[in-house]
Structure 1
Amino acid sequence: MPGTAPRRVRATAAAMDLLRRLRGLHGPLMLHQSGGCCDGSAPMCYPAGEFVIGDRDVLLGLLDLRLRADELPDTDPEPEDSAPVWISGPQFTAWQHTQLILDVVPGRGSGFSLESPEGFRFLSRGRVFEPGELRALAATEPVTGAGWERGERPLPAAEPQVVAEAADACPVPGRSH
């Protein structure tokens, strides 16, 4: 049965489409929410295992590449059908109150991220969790890199992971979509 805590990461349908295309080109994927340097704080996409996850990095969630907008999974995905999304421990401390929405926009991102030659770049949008959501999240420990190595995996969430548009997950006040 899905948990009651919200997802720490969701994705737009366009981001999921791009991830599926990249998986077809490069095989299984992983993402890491960059903490700065070359691309500011952009989400970076790599072939699975190409970015070394540290013991204190935090798993924001597993994007199930089989899902479309508003679907909930009925089974766990195979490893090649999921893309883990990681963030550094110190950056997670700063962002733990925020749900990240992985989106995609036209333009070139970093030369390090797989989408760079595709003419698009991944972008993180954010929504501050409501007080009740924060209480639910506080009742669950996030999976760290060390925990992942021990076989820990995140609990399922009750809300769909894929949204049609970013505004469906993080609406802009005063704007209709």
Structure 2
Amino acid sequence: MNRVDLTAKAKDLLLELKEKHGDLMLYQAGGCCEGTQPQCFRKGEFYLRYKDVCIGEIEGVEFWVDKDLFEYWKHAHFELDVIDAIGAGGFSLEVPLGKTFKVNYRIFTQDELQQLSEVKINL
């Protein structure tokens, strides 16, 4: 069972960004402002913290989550979506396109919790 999936709009945008920028990564921080939305970077241009968690890969893009946020949301499924808006800041690659990634959450069922994919920890 995947911990993260994406909408068709988010898939289209990720593919557009990959074509323009190459390999990408997504990062969801637990802080305020820019930390309230997932950020998209060229792979390797954002430095992960010790024990940050990769909850999965979508369209070949790793989705990393702040270690503290993961502890809070480890029982939730993430669905990457996109809206037509400019988010809290300008570091994410989709911002110049007038787009902002966002995450929709839902709690896993008990059956789903038993079938979850393993996460990868940054050490």
Question: Would you tell me which structure has more strand in proportion to its own residues?
Answer: 2
TM tier, smaller: over 0.9
TM-score (norm 2): 0.92
Picking from 127, 142, 146, the partner of 2:106 is 127
Deviations 1:96-136 (A, max 9, x none): 01000000011112201000010110000011100111122
Provide the secondary structure at the position in 1 that maps to 2:13: helix
Counterpart secondary structure, 2:36? coil
For the pair 1:8 / 2:13, whether they are aligned, the reply is: no
Q: Which ranges in structure 2 are unaligned for 5 or more consecutive residues? A: none
Do 1:36 and 1:42's aligned partners in 2 also have CA atoms closer than 8 Å?
Answer: no
TM-score w.r.t. length of structure 1 = 0.65
Structure 2 residue aligned with 1:74:
none
RMSD over aligned Cα atoms: 1.3
One-letter identity of the residue aligned with 1:127: R
Q: Which is worse superposed, 92-101 or 127-136?
A: 127-136
What is the rounded CA distance, in whole Å, between the counterparts of 1:106 and 1:122 in structure 2? 9
Q: Identity, % of aligned pairs?
A: 41
2:87 is the counterpart of 1:102: no
Larger Rg: 1
SS at match of 1:113: coil
Task: Report the AA paired with residue 12 of structure 1.
Answer: T
Structure 1 gaps of 5+ residues are 1-5, 65-81, 147-177
